Structure 1
Amino acid sequence: MVITDRAVVSQPGHMKPPFVPDQWNTGLFDCCDDFSSCCYHYWCFWCIACKTSEKYGECLCMPLVDFLALGGSVPAFAMAMRSDMRERYGIRGSMVEDFMFSTCFPPCVYFQISREMKIRKQAVTVVNTHHHRPHTQR
């Protein structure tokens, strides 16, 4: 009697690495790549800004303080959060970029931070295979 070892192997398609370590994984204006998220972000900006802030580990209401305290002219919290994320993850960039983007495009900054957190917190799946030979009877 001959027993054959058969392995079923399924190869995944093209896999993108979970993140690129030293740069933003999405551009500042890539919010429309996911249409449903884009609509949510557009119609409920303050909801997503506060939710992003909370997920980042900051106070839920900090984005509102930017708007109420400074009239939205210089969103210091958005700038600080973007700068902190760059430092935390080793993303290339500068405080000047953080200032310019946060001042000119605050919704886009929050959306980019939200996407980056999602990408960098993706679970990495490790597949390990073991070859097991069944005992044969003689």
Structure 2
Amino acid sequence: MSVYPESSVVVNQQVPNMYPAPMTTTVVLQQPQQAPGKLVCSREGHRGWSSGMFACGDDVTNCCLAVFCQELVLMDISRRTGENVCVTCCVPGGLLAIRARLRTLGGIQGSICEDYLSLSCCYLCALCQMQRELDSMGL
């Protein structure tokens, strides 16, 4: 006669592994480096803007936001380009830097001078263009 009742018998119970799997270690003796004097990408960019400066009618929602809620649009553009949301309002020339960053991220042709003129002469249109470009890029 058994001391244990039949209901307490455990069949096919797997014992958990108490020891972790062996670990492998990779030692990097020399960091990979870029060849001296080599650019990662072209300086000029490989494409133009996805929409023109005055294509505000193509996206009326962003146009209205730029007119009535400029601060929100500026914060959104900063966030979507990977910058701090305060850059455009607290850093002198911050929006110019954000526009240049957007051109670099998207491989868009242009120059700082063109960015400056766009923002100085057609501020709201430039904001709308940047929003449309970010939408086009999926950011």
TM interval, shorter chain, is 0.5 to 0.7
1:114 aligns with 2:131: yes
Uncovered stretches (5+) of structure 2, i.e. residues with no partner: 1-45
Instruction: Give the counterpart of 2:86 among 61, 69, 74.
Output: 61
Segments of 4+ moved more than 4 angstroms = none
Aligned partners of 1:47, 1:94: CA distance in 2, in Å? 26
Uncovered stretches (5+) of structure 1, i.e. residues with no partner: 1-20, 70-75, 123-138
How far is the alpha carbon of 1:39 from its aligned partner?
1.6
1:39 aligns with 2:64: yes
Q: TM-score with structure 1 length normalisation? A: 0.59
Structure 1 residues 96, 121: closer, same or farther in 2, change over 3 A? same
Paired residues in the alignment total 94
Is the 8 Å Cα contact of residues 27 and 112 (structure 1) preserved in structure 2? Answer: yes
How far is the alpha carbon of 1:102 from its aligned partner?
1.9
Instruction: Give the counterpart of 1:77 among 87, 94, 116.
Output: 94
Structure 1 residues 85, 43: closer, same or farther in 2, change over 3 A? same
How far is the alpha carbon of 1:65 from its aligned partner?
1.6
Question: What SS does the aligned partner of 2:119 have?
Answer: helix
Q: RMSD in angstroms over aligned alpha carbons?
A: 2.0
Is the 8 Å Cα contact of residues 22 and 91 (structure 1) preserved in structure 2? Answer: yes
Q: Once the two structures are superposed, what CA deviation does each residue of 1:106-131 show, in whole Å capped at 9, x if it has no partner?
A: 33222211111111118xxxxxxxxx
Q: TM-score with structure 2 length normalisation? A: 0.59
Is the 8 Å Cα contact of residues 59 and 132 (structure 2) preserved in structure 1? Answer: no
How far is the alpha carbon of 1:36 from its aligned partner?
2.7
Q: Once the two structures are superposed, what CA deviation does each residue of 1:3-61 show, in whole Å capped at 9, x if it has no partner?
A: xxxxxxxxxxxxxxxxxx61100111222322233222211111111111111111112
Question: What SS does the aligned partner of 1:28 have?
Answer: coil
